Amino acid sequence: MSDVAKTDKVAKAEHVALEKTGGLIRWRPFVLGFLAINLLFVLVRCYQQRFGFSAGLDSYSPEFRQSWTPLLWGEIPLEILFGFALVGYLIKTRSRQLYFLSLREEVARLVGLIQWLMLAVVAYYWAASFFAEQDAAWHLVVIRDTDFTPSHIIVFYLSFPIYFLMAFGAFLYARTRIPFFARGYSMAFLCINSSFMILPNVALNEWGHSFWFMDEIVSAPLHWGFVVFGWMILGMFGVVLQILGRLHVAVKADARVLHHVVEDARR
């Protein structure tokens, strides 16, 4: 079979698959993911409100071990299982003939990547803007007696890992489904995923707090790593620019793609 015939065959198959999945803009996975992330963190915040001060001030108390210790040792294995399931799914369902995609399907996947990045940003907001600032406020009010406080259990061992999984999932999605990102490694994407280094910095931070009392000094040098690696999310702008550049090429090559994007957006 010639390359031209193979390309036509794959393009027809991609067109049928595209029609079955609902067009270029696939809203259902994005909406479900958006609701799931926000619902999880709203419930977590309500749990903090209920048990933070009543059971979270003394890590050696029976109340702490009943309300917070099971949460800590439950969320970590669940996140590991979710991570393996996510990576396994993305690898198992990857495109086998990546460079025979039709332009419409490639645009649909680029739009899907934008949606994935938006979910990562939502998770990052909860982790870095909400729970991280909450943790700083906690230290200004409560002198901790352990590395595992009600704020740490949520910010370091739940919200940040969820963001890391979403960011790495977006990277793996792009590498396995979009030809532009499969050709090499995007430095902007690697910048985003380097935020993972926040977790090793947590260990350094806890080691430092074991020797110095600086809970009330938010700008202490031990906290600088959180700022440096946290701002790595600015690589998101570079990834979006790369996506927009590829979208421009696709629309310029086939003007019908733009028509389908507009039609799907109006639905």
Q: Work out the angle between the directed axes of helices 103-124 and 27-55 (0-180°, nearest 10).
A: 10
Q: Which amino acid is at 245?
A: G
Helix axes 235-253, 103-124, angle to 10 degrees: 160
Which parts of the chain have pLDDT scores under 50? 1, 4, 6-7, 10-11, 13-21
**The predicted structure's pLDDT at residue 172:** 94
Q: Token digits for 146? A: 């352990």
d(CA 115, CA 129) in angstroms, rounded, equals 20
The three-point CA angle 70-72-77 to 5° equals: 100
- The answer to whether the beta carbons of residues 167 and 195 sit under 8 Å apart is yes
Supply the pLDDT for residue 136.
83
Look at residue 10 in the predicted model and tell me its pLDDT: 47
Computed over its alpha carbons, how large is the radius of gyration of the chain? Answer: 22
Instruction: Spell out the residues 6+ positions from residue 32 whose beta carbon is closer than 8 angstroms to its own.
Output: none
The pLDDT, as a whole number, for residue 161 is 94
| Residue 113 · residue 178 · CB < 8 Å | yes
Over residues 86-99, the pLDDT tens digits come to 999 999 998 888 87
Question: For residue 239, which of 164, 178, 150, 196 has the smallest C-alpha distance?
Answer: 178
Q: How many domains does the chain have?
A: 1
| pLDDT value at residue 208 | 79
> 244 is in which domain, residue-wise?
3-266
CATH number of the domain encompassing residue 196: 1.20.1050.50
